[in-house]
Structure 1
């Protein structure tokens, strides 16, 4: 019984590993969505003339 009381596992619990991986997945998805929104915001800041120079119309920039 004394051996059982003094022995502590150094292995990471499965629930911790699983929770960490799920959190990383959620953060990665959020980062990717932010990367998509940034060019859209930038395109919406352009004037109609600047968009035409790029070969885009306003409605196309709104749907990027």
Structure 2
């Protein structure tokens, strides 16, 4: 699917969505996470359980 980001959380942050306001919001949320929650988010992204779909929608899935 076009616009899907998986794997490295930094790659997800570098991906520029069509809406700059959404991009800023996602960066702010990720960068301001408590270190523990940031490590959890990184792990979820790395294992494909959390991904940014269509550049502006967060999708959490338990399916590997």
Could you tell me the TM-score, scaled by structure 1's length?
A: 0.34
Determine which structure has more spread, i.e. the larger CA radius of gyration.
Answer: 1
Q: Which has the higher helix share?
A: 1
Q: Which has the higher contact order (CA 8 A, sep 6+)?
A: 2
Q: Which has the higher strand share?
A: 2
